[in-house]
Every structure is written in C-alpha cells, then in structure tokens.
Amino acid sequence: MPFIGPVNSVLLYTLFAAFWMVGFSNAVNLTDGLDGLVAGQGTVAFGTYAFIAAHDHRTDVLIICLVTVGALLGFLLYNHKPAKIFYG
C-alpha cells in the first residue's frame, strides 16, 4: 500500500475482495438498467477474452468465453429497447 508498504493480512484482503465483488455486481446491475448495454459490453469483453485465449491455445477458457458470448447475444434479442427481460 502507498506510504505504508506491504500488508499481509487475510482479513484485510477478504474485506477488500468482498467490497470489490459487490461493487462490480452493482455496476453490472446499474448498466443493465440501460436496455441492452450490459449484453453489448459483455459480448465485446468476452469476445476479446476469447481472442486472447485462442492466441494462447487455452481451449478451456476459449469455450467458456464463446458460450458466454452466445448466451449474451441470445439475451440481447430480448433485451434491446424496449427491454422485455432484465439480467438481475
């Protein structure tokens, strides 16, 4: 940590990880309030991860990314404006 140095605390790491996960899940829920935005952003992100996984010959990660892209594109059919279903 800046001005303090390395901190080796399991409790501090656990609290930080929980705060991080709650923050990101809340950000996805807020983004989903805008019709189709989270599915579009997720498709681009997981598509990029799939490209990187294919380049690194990681077929396990590639399959997960491509399945997620397919699910997001299927979800986008029903979530474009006006949205009929929501993520959360």
**pLDDT tens string 22-69:** 998 888 777 776 667 888 888 999 999 999 999 999 999 999 999 999
Domain-embedded: residue 84:
no
pTM of the model: 0.68
Count up the domains in the chain and report the number: 1
Q: Is residue 53 part of a domain?
A: yes
- 50 domain residue, yes or no: yes
Q: Tell me which residue range forms the domain holding 67.
A: 10-79
Other beta carbons within 10 angstroms of residue 32's beta carbon come to 19
Structural domain contains residue 15: yes
Tokens coding 40:
């579009």
Q: What's the pLDDT tens digit per position in 64-88? A: 999 999 998 988 887 767 766 666 5
Examine residue 26 and state whether it is found in any structural domain, yes or no: yes
Contacts of 49 (CB under 8 A, 6+ apart): 61, 65
Taking the CA of residue 33 as centre, how many other CA atoms within 13 Å lie in the half-sphere pointing to its CB?
5
**Within a domain: residue 3?**
no
The total of other beta-carbon atoms located within 10 Å of residue 60's CB is 8
Q: Has residue 12 got a pLDDT over 90?
A: no
The confidence score (pLDDT) of residue 77 equals 80
